[in-house]
Every structure is written in C-alpha cells, then in structure tokens.
Structure 1
Amino acid sequence: MNSAKEFSALNSKISSMKKNLLQEEDYESLIGFKKIEEVIDYLYEREFIVNKNYNSINEIESDLKKNRLKILNKLGYFLSKNYNNLVQLILDKYEIEDIKKATRNLVTKNKALTKESFIIRDDFYEKIKEGITIEEFFEELKNSKFYKYLRGYKNQEKRDLLFFVEMSLDRNYYSSIFFESKYLNKENEKIIKNFYGQFIDLYNLSWIYRAKKFYNIKPVIIYNYTILGGDLFNTTDIKNLSYMELEDFVDNILKTKYSFLFDSKHNIDIYMERRINRYLYYQSRDLTKSNKFNFKKTLGIIVMTDFDIKDIGAILESKNYNLTSEETRGYLIKNLGRS
C-alpha cells in the first residue's frame, strides 16, 4: 500500500478518535466529584464503560481497557500487514497484564479477584477458581506465544517467582516490538526504536535505582535483569550504571535528559513512577500532533490512551481516600493546565 495514502486515512481516523477522548474539562469534572458512583455515571454516559456495576476499581480499569482495546483494534483496517502485526504486538501488553495478574493471584491467593478483573483472558479466572497450580497454569499456556518466556520458572520458589515472570514478560515484550519493527521502512523503524527505547531507558533506571537503594542487590544481578535496546544508554552504559555506587549513579543521571527523576524537592521514591509516566505521556501526546505520513500518530494514540486510564484510576482511588481536588491533581500523570 502507498505509504502516504495509508497514513493519510489512518491519521484522519486518529484525529477523529482524539476528539472522543476525555478532555481537560472532563478531568476537572471527574476530580470535582465526591463519590466513585458519580465518576462511574460520568464515564458510562460518555460510553467509556459498558455498565455501572463494579466490585472494585480494578474492574473499572479493566473495563476501560477492554473498551479502548476494541477501538484500537479497528486501526488494523487502515494498516498494511506489517504495521498491523506491530500494532497487535504493542496491544499484547493487555494479555501480558492478565498473565501477570493471574500469576500474582496464584502466589498471593487474593480472594478479591473477579472474572471482570481480566481484560482479555477472563478464562484465567475459572482456572484459578478451580484451584490450578502455577505449574499447571503455565502449561495451560503451552500453545501461547508467551509460554517460552514462562516455562523456565514453573518450579521457581514463590518468593521470587513474580519478579522473574514479570521481568521475563516485559523484556520479551520490548524485544518482540523491536524485532517486528525491522519489517517497516527505515523511518518508522527508527520512530519505534527511539520511542520505546525511552521506555526501556526509564525502566532500567528505575530498576537500577530501586535495586541499589532498597534491596542491596549485587551489580552483576542488577545488570543481568536490565533490558537491552535503550535509546540513550547502550549495553556498556547500562553495565557501568549497574556497577556504580548509588550516589554516583544519581549524579550521572542528573547530567542527562532524565534528570527529572532526581532533581525534585518532592519525595523521589514516592513520585518516581509518576514522573516516568508523565514524561512518556507527553512524549506520546507529541506524537499524536504529528501530521506526517508515518507511524507517529498511531503510536502516540495507542500509548497515550493507556496513560489516560491510569489517571482515571488515580481519580477513582482519590474518592476512596477523600482527597481534595488539589491533592488528587498531585497523583495524576497529566499536568492539568499545561498546553
């Protein structure tokens, strides 16, 4: 398919989709509500969710993701095979989330889990309810593309199982995206690698920092569980950072474009995840503003909508804790009022 023709139609579709996303005034309304029920009513009226009966915030977030996934899958109608394959790989994150959720439940035995908590694989709930073991659960995934990333951990001690499973799934998620991007033209391959390279950079920096500060993990182990393919840091850089003392590590990062992780007067540890998400949200939002006939706008809308759902989840949680509007804003990824 002609690239300009393909992305012209797709960009028009995405511009239309953006108009149906929650706008800043919507977020102000959601923040202003006192009760979770009011937020649910608002989302229901805007057709972001399909019912009003939920047992937990987790169920609401899963419903938001199901709805968003249904919409994003329609982008495939506008894409040639290689680009559609890539979109499907990016959207694999929702099935990966279900696998993590099921594995976590098999370890923790959380009785609050419901069928509605899952995004794609609600059949996992029935298996858990039947008393399936972790080993049996992984074997149930034998025909799945994810099995090869899980089978080595079937007999892992439960204490470490979640860490290894989540790290393996995350690492191979990014590797799969990078591998598939090789089938795109050079311009779009570069867009993918630069954008997701920043995800990997920040994932690695957060992991190295926490491993050093809270767990006193040996440098060789820290390095072994980093992810390859970063945008700013190559393999040698990551190895050097893994072996640095914590103070030297922070000093080095303060000299990079990721200095925002450590240059704040606010609690670094509590707000690190929000700072990372905020940076990536605005990177994705900038992509959606592109008018070029390439993959930027598509990539931006896919990623940006995921951060929208995280913010809705934060607003819902704020109602449970009776936070003020100003306190709630402090937990959002979006910086409301920023143009």
Structure 2
Amino acid sequence: MGRVVDFTAINAKIKAMEGFWLKKSQYKELIECNNFREALIYLRDKTKYGDTLKEYNVEELHRGQLEVILKRKYISNFTKLSHFLRDDYRKLLKVIFTRFEVDDIKVIIRGKYIGKRTEDLEQRISYKCSMSTINYDELLQADNVEQVVDKLKGTIYYKYIYNLVDSIEDDGLFRIEMALDSVYFILLKRFIKKLPKEDKEVVEKINGIQADLLNIQMIYRGLKYYQLPSEILFNYAVQDGCKLKKDDLKRLCYSKNIDDFLNKIKTTAYKEIFNISEFEDYLLEKEMMAFLQKLYTRYKTEAKMNISVILAYLELSLIEYRNIVSIVENKRYSQHNDEIIKYITTTM
C-alpha cells in the first residue's frame, strides 16, 4: 500500500489535541486537592477537562463514574481521529478498536458472573460508538455468562471463547478473559502486513511490547492467584511478542512458583518493571504503564512522518486518564499525597 495520508497535517492536529493534557503543575495541584469533591471541581474548573465534566453534577458522581466519563471522551476522540485517515490507516484504527470493545465485553461478562443488575452494567459501558461490532442491548439482557457468549455468535469473538464456558466453574473468568485479550493481537498481526514497511515496523514494536507485558501480567496472576498448570499458561500466552520469544515465554510459564518467576523476569528486557526494593501487586500495572510511557513519549518526541505519532497520542491519552482516575479515586480514601504518587506514572 502506498502512502495516502498527509502526516504533516495529522501530526499538527495531534499536537493541538495534546494541549488537552494536564501540565505537570496541574498534576501537582490535583494531587494537593483535599478530597474527592475538590479534585473533581479542580478538573472541571481549572483544566481542559471542564468541557467534558460540565454536563455532570460533580457532587453526584459515584465510584467509577469518572473513569467511564474519561473513557467515553477517549473513544469520541478516537473515532474523530479516524476520520482524518484513509483506506488501510482507517482500517488499522478499526482493528485497534477491538481492544476497547473487548474491555466492554469483559465488563458485561464480569457483571453477569457476579449477578450485577443490567442497569448498573449499562452505566459501566465505556466504548460504545460507531465502530462497535457487537449488539450491546442483547448482551446486557443475557442472564448469565453462558448466554453472553451465546449472543456473541456471528461476531469475531465467538470462536475464541465458545468452548471455554465450562472452565468457569474451576477457573472463574481467567481463561475467557485471556482468550478475549488475544483476539486483538491476532487480528492486528494479520492486518499490519498491509501497511508500508516503516509503519509496519512501528506497529509491530508497539504491539509486541504490549503483548509481552500482557503475558507477564497473565503469567504473574495465573501463578499467584489461580495456580494454573504451566501448559495452560503457555497456551494462553500471546505469541510473537517483541522481546519475549517462545522459549522465554515457556521458561516463565514453567516457573516453579512466584519467586522463581520474579527471578526469571529479572533476566529479561523487562527487569526494570520489577526492579524496585519492595514490589507490591498494586504496582505491577503502574510499572508496566511507566515502561510503555517511555516508548510512546519517544515516538511523540521524534515526531516522524508515519503512524507513530498517532499511536503515541492514543496510548499516552489512555495513560493520562488512568493517572487522573488514580489520583481522584484515591482522594476518596484520604490517601496521603506521597502514597497517591506511587499509583501514577507522571513524575512530580
């Protein structure tokens, strides 16, 4: 495929959109807010998130609602950005959207698993948009996980999970969720063959590192919380990562225990994620995001005339939303500011 996109114009558009992000001084002021309500008011009145929050009564926002609001804002920007692209570049964003649609499917499946009300689940849906390929109304009306899976017939997801319903009794939702996560990587691997060489290399690197980190998280959780057999972990690992090859994955999956896994991971390119004096579970996601943030920031700074700036913007926006939610939600529990900083990737 030849180049059909004016990256000069798109990169300029993205540069303007980056102006929406919080400055370091605003992060500091947000962290210094005294409570949850004050933090929301600060976001509404002192940042560019005001346009997003002005239609809500911040006095009435309950736990988790800010996260949904920001995710809906994200997917609105995502779809708008796709309109600036043509042909296979627009199709690439459609494939990437699969990742977010999977998140919504998992929200519904988890909700049905624990018996949440349909009305409550509707409030948790974040990514429904013009790119959606699933029937949300049908999925939400399902009575249980088995019915959700059955209602996914005819979608790209069904063949990956239809035979895993029976595993729920023994393994909970772990296998189904890992299978759903793999769909995005499988589809993207097939699609990027259509891209020009330079863009293909960028997507392969980002996708490969994301796959590696998903595998690390999956193996860690599988060993620590589910005691899953090594062969099961290996079967659900996403292949074709960037720095963890098949033999590396097998070595990690066949760790004797969590300590053995941690010792092995420290011999890989991802050792810095666990290279802190007192590693705690809650830090895993944050450290992975910090690792990715360095990669995306480098792409943003280089500002090359290829797909890298678009992808960096999309990923850095997600990290910003995660940081904001971490700060604001921790204000509910009167966490000390030094503790809150542990949860975010932005350095103060």
Q: TM-score, normalised by structure 1?
A: 0.89
Residue 104 of structure 2 is aligned to residue 92 of structure 1: no
Residue 11 of structure 1 corresponds to 11
Q: From 118, 123, 128, give the equivalent of 2:125.
A: 118
Secondary structure of the 2:99 match is helix
CA contact (8 A) 2:92 2:191 kept: yes
1:115-146 superposed Cα distances (whole Å, 9 cap, x missing partner) = 22211349747864x56232322233324332
Aligned residues: 335
Residue 294 of structure 2 aligns with an amino acid whose one-letter code is Y
Assess, with a 3 A threshold, how the Cα gap between structure 1 residues 115 and 11 changes in structure 2: closer, same or farther. same
Residue 273 of structure 2 is aligned to residue 261 of structure 1: yes
Q: From 247, 257, 262, give the equivalent of 1:236.
A: 247
CA contact (8 A) 2:303 2:309 kept: yes
Q: From 139, 146, 150, give the equivalent of 2:157.
A: 146
Assess, with a 3 A threshold, how the Cα gap between structure 1 residues 263 and 124 changes in structure 2: closer, same or farther. same
Secondary structure of the 2:34 match is coil
Per the TM alignment, residue 42 of structure 1 is displaced from its structure 2 partner at its CA by: 3.2
- 1:186-335 superposed matches below 5 A: 186-246=197-257, 247-335=259-347
Residue 330 of structure 2 aligns with an amino acid whose one-letter code is S
Secondary structure of the 1:265 match is coil
Question: 1:155 and 1:195 mapped to 2: Cα distance?
Answer: 34
Residue 173 of structure 2 corresponds to 162
Question: 2:254 and 2:91 mapped to 1: Cα distance?
Answer: 38
Question: 1:120 and 1:272 mapped to 2: Cα distance?
Answer: 25
Q: From 134, 147, 164, give the equivalent of 2:145.
A: 134
Question: 1:242 and 1:121 mapped to 2: Cα distance?
Answer: 35
Residue 270 of structure 1 aligns with an amino acid whose one-letter code is Y
Residue 200 of structure 2 aligns with an amino acid whose one-letter code is E
CA contact (8 A) 1:63 1:119 kept: yes
Per the TM alignment, residue 290 of structure 1 is displaced from its structure 2 partner at its CA by: 2.3
Secondary structure of the 1:78 match is coil
Secondary structure of the 2:343 match is coil
Per the TM alignment, residue 333 of structure 1 is displaced from its structure 2 partner at its CA by: 2.2
1:5-60 superposed Cα distances (whole Å, 9 cap, x missing partner) = 62111111111111111221221222111232223233334323353245533221
Assess, with a 3 A threshold, how the Cα gap between structure 1 residues 141 and 192 changes in structure 2: closer, same or farther. same
CA contact (8 A) 2:72 2:126 kept: yes
Question: 1:324 and 1:270 mapped to 2: Cα distance?
Answer: 16
Per the TM alignment, residue 239 of structure 1 is displaced from its structure 2 partner at its CA by: 1.4
Assess, with a 3 A threshold, how the Cα gap between structure 1 residues 222 and 283 changes in structure 2: closer, same or farther. same
CA contact (8 A) 1:197 1:232 kept: yes
Residue 185 of structure 1 corresponds to 196
Question: 1:2 and 1:21 mapped to 2: Cα distance?
Answer: 33
Residue 300 of structure 1 aligns with an amino acid whose one-letter code is A
Secondary structure of the 2:160 match is helix
Residue 21 of structure 1 corresponds to 21
Q: Give the unaligned 5+ runs of structure 1.
A: none
CA contact (8 A) 1:9 1:78 kept: no
CA contact (8 A) 1:62 1:118 kept: yes
Question: 1:109 and 1:212 mapped to 2: Cα distance?
Answer: 27
Question: 1:69 and 1:121 mapped to 2: Cα distance?
Answer: 8
Per the TM alignment, residue 191 of structure 1 is displaced from its structure 2 partner at its CA by: 0.8
1:276-309 superposed Cα distances (whole Å, 9 cap, x missing partner) = 1111122222222222111110110111111111
Q: Give the unaligned 5+ runs of structure 2.
A: 130-134
Return 42-51 or 230-239, whichever deviates more: 42-51
Return 266-275 or 321-330, whichever deviates more: 266-275
Residue 60 of structure 2 is aligned to residue 49 of structure 1: no
Question: 1:241 and 1:135 mapped to 2: Cα distance?
Answer: 32
Q: CA RMSD in A?
A: 2.5
CA contact (8 A) 1:107 1:158 kept: no
Question: 1:12 and 1:219 mapped to 2: Cα distance?
Answer: 48
Residue 78 of structure 2 corresponds to 72
Assess, with a 3 A threshold, how the Cα gap between structure 1 residues 268 and 322 changes in structure 2: closer, same or farther. closer
Residue 322 of structure 1 aligns with an amino acid whose one-letter code is S
Assess, with a 3 A threshold, how the Cα gap between structure 1 residues 4 and 19 changes in structure 2: closer, same or farther. farther
Per the TM alignment, residue 84 of structure 1 is displaced from its structure 2 partner at its CA by: 1.0
Q: TM-score, normalised by structure 2?
A: 0.87
Q: Name segments (4+ residues, structure 1) moved above 6 Å.
A: none
